[in-house]
Amino acid sequence: MSDKIGLRADNQQYVSADFNQGGTLVANRDVLDGWETFELIKLDGNKIGLRADNGQYVSADFNQGGILVANRDVLDGWETFELIVNSSPPTGNGFVNIVSRQFYEAMFPNRNSFYSYDALVSATQKYPSFCNEGSDEQRKREAAAFLGNITHETGALQHVEELNQANWSHYCDRANKTYPCVQGKTYHGRGPIQLSWNYNYGACGEAMGMDLLNNPELVSTNSSISFMTALWFWMTPQGRENLRCHDAIRNFGFGKTISIINGGLECGKGQVTPQAQHRIQLYEQFTRELGVTPGENLSC
């Protein structure tokens, strides 16, 4: 008997069988995809085996200090594990049970067809924790915060790319050698969160298992990838505080999500900026529609 599962470590990263490193298991992926999917094989009692996407069983290789590697053809001693189950039930039912197709279409009647509900739902399935942790109130606030911010960024989901084309070539940080700019490519705002800068395209693509440095246009031509980039940004620690929007809305309030997304331009100006005020108004609108209070600390 077997089931398909994913494994998420305490650092909130998914365990991946990295076949570029011989199938070694590493908890370093933001997205739950092929290499992060395992077949759980139930044996006697609480004993299980894990088979990776390459068809190889995961083995605790005690000749190498017990590291886990998906490289064995046979399910035997080193490939057998004891499953210890946390008895605490999972909380929440996720984004789909908060934001229905009917709600989405009613909130965005003039949206660009690129931003389809199905593409958004497909992207959320790669990030199971999104709108799926904490109380019902917290989950609804997270949905409202995400929708409010992407509404602000895209003119109510009408714009796929940054409107000011004169700025398109400006989003290249040549000092960043980890994710160097590719000649002929621009890293201007694209998608629901308006992903910008070469280092964000590089890190996001790396997490998603695709080359967005060489192919940044995927964010504006593939709607599922586009929504995935927005969720990657939302679910990945950002900035000096190394904080996720996912955690910020639950633990600090909506204002902290503004700070994470565009704090350099919209926060810390002595008074609430027009841009931040617009985000707050949108967030309050979505919380009303979802039947939840907006909470405290709305501004940044």
Task: List the CATH number of the domain containing 196.
Answer: 3.30.20.10
pLDDT range class, residue 93, cuts 50, 70, 90: low
Half-sphere exposure of 263 (CA within 13 A, CB side): 16
Q: Is residue 227 included in any domain, yes or no?
A: no
DSSP 89: P
- Please indicate, yes or no, whether residues 50 and 111 belong to a single structural domain of this protein: no
Question: What tens digit of pLDDT does each residue of 238-251 get?
Answer: 988 889 999 999 99
Hey, which bits of the chain come out as E strands? 2-5, 14-18, 24-29, 38-42, 47-51, 57-61, 67-72, 81-82
User: pLDDT at position 10, please?
Assistant: 63
Task: Please list the active-site residues.
Answer: 153
- Please indicate, yes or no, whether residues 142 and 261 belong to a single structural domain of this protein: yes
- Please indicate, yes or no, whether residues 173 and 284 belong to a single structural domain of this protein: no
User: Do the bridges between strand 2-5 and strand 47-51 make them parallel or antiparallel, or are there none, so unpaired?
Assistant: unpaired
- Please indicate, yes or no, whether residues 171 and 203 belong to a single structural domain of this protein: yes
- Please indicate, yes or no, whether residues 19 and 65 belong to a single structural domain of this protein: yes
**Listed range (70-74, 116-120, 139-143) with the worst mean pLDDT:** 70-74
- Please indicate, yes or no, whether residues 203 and 295 belong to a single structural domain of this protein: no
- Please indicate, yes or no, whether residues 180 and 146 belong to a single structural domain of this protein: no
User: pLDDT at position 222, please?
Assistant: 96
Question: What tens digit of pLDDT does each residue of 170-228 get?
Answer: 999 999 999 999 999 999 999 999 999 999 999 999 999 999 999 999 999 999 999 99
Locate 41 and state its tokens. Answer: 């094989």
Rounded Cα distance between 195 and 232, Å, is 10
- Please indicate, yes or no, whether residues 141 and 252 belong to a single structural domain of this protein: yes
Residues written for the chain: 300
**Is the confidence at residue 2, as pLDDT, over 70?**
no
Whole-prediction pTM = 0.73
- Please indicate, yes or no, whether residues 140 and 267 belong to a single structural domain of this protein: yes
At 281, which amino acid appears? Q
- Please indicate, yes or no, whether residues 154 and 178 belong to a single structural domain of this protein: no
- Please indicate, yes or no, whether residues 176 and 150 belong to a single structural domain of this protein: no
Q: Is residue 229 included in any domain, yes or no?
A: no
**Is the confidence at residue 82, as pLDDT, over 90?**
no
CATH at 282: 1.10.530.10
**What range does the domain containing 64 cover?**
2-82
Domain count within the chain: 3
- Determine contact, residues 95/126, Cβ cutoff 8 Å: no
